[in-house]
Structure 1
């Protein structure tokens, strides 16, 4: 067998990886700081192998379980929002756990729900 090429990833693949990391954190498989560190690595990943490595110690779902993301153009101004949203989300999760206020959990779910719904349009 020949060596398989390592393909580059785009914003959609990075977003999917962060979404799946959030699923694992919600299931209790990742601590908040682990989730935050892996999201930072996902946001800066350039190759599929870098994203796959974030899931080496986790069961499904994984980015490699999903079909390849079709190519679409994204305005340059929106691509920078990914890191900002990941950091704000990690901060809200941290506050919800440390402060133990249910309002932060509700805000977190609402904020990410609205953001993902807007991104799907």
Structure 2
């Protein structure tokens, strides 16, 4: 066997099948597939073993289509943009600080210390 590769016929796993079903759902909700076509293609996705079997189900459909894993880096598939997470964290922290200062004046210094520690540790990551 050639390291498990046969041209385009790479074996796929559950994440690829789930992604393909999600994309079929987008095409169904856009009206490109009727109920019977959607059901039939989902059944074919569920039994697909190779990438070429998935690609054949999307040949007559526009974007979005399943991407080959070689086109994405592992970090691009799993990582959330760091700036977005830090912005959300900063907004939540600001709201919490304002709440503590306005509503819980006497407890604010006690509650701000763990909040600042958590924020500092998260921000350093």
- Using structure 1 for the length normalisation, give the TM-score: 0.51
1:37 matched residue in structure 2: 40
2:7 matched residue in structure 1: 4
Instruction: Judge conservation of contact 2:8–2:52 (CA < 8 Å) in 1.
Output: no
How many pairs align?
68
1:64 aligns with 2:67: yes
2:108 matched residue in structure 1: none
Partners of 1:31 and 1:69 in 2: how far apart?
Answer: 34
Instruction: Judge conservation of contact 2:28–2:38 (CA < 8 Å) in 1.
Output: yes
* Consecutive aligned runs of 4 or more in structure 1 exceeding 6 Å deviation: none
CA gap of 1:30–1:36, structure 2 versus 1, over 3 A, is: same
State the Cα distance separating 1:51 from its structure 2 match.
0.4
Unaligned ranges ≥5, structure 2:
1-5, 75-125
State the Cα distance separating 1:10 from its structure 2 match.
0.2
Taking the TM superposition and a 5 Å limit, the aligned residue runs for 1:12-27 are 12-27=15-30
Taking the TM superposition and a 5 Å limit, the aligned residue runs for 1:32-111 are 32-64=35-67, 67=71
Instruction: Judge conservation of contact 1:38–1:54 (CA < 8 Å) in 2.
Output: yes
Q: Which moved more, 1:5-14 or 1:45-54?
A: 5-14
Higher relative contact order (CA 8 A, sep 6+): 1
CA gap of 1:5–1:38, structure 2 versus 1, over 3 A, is: closer
CA gap of 1:69–1:43, structure 2 versus 1, over 3 A, is: farther
Instruction: Judge conservation of contact 1:55–1:62 (CA < 8 Å) in 2.
Output: yes
Partners of 2:40 and 2:61 in 1: how far apart?
Answer: 15
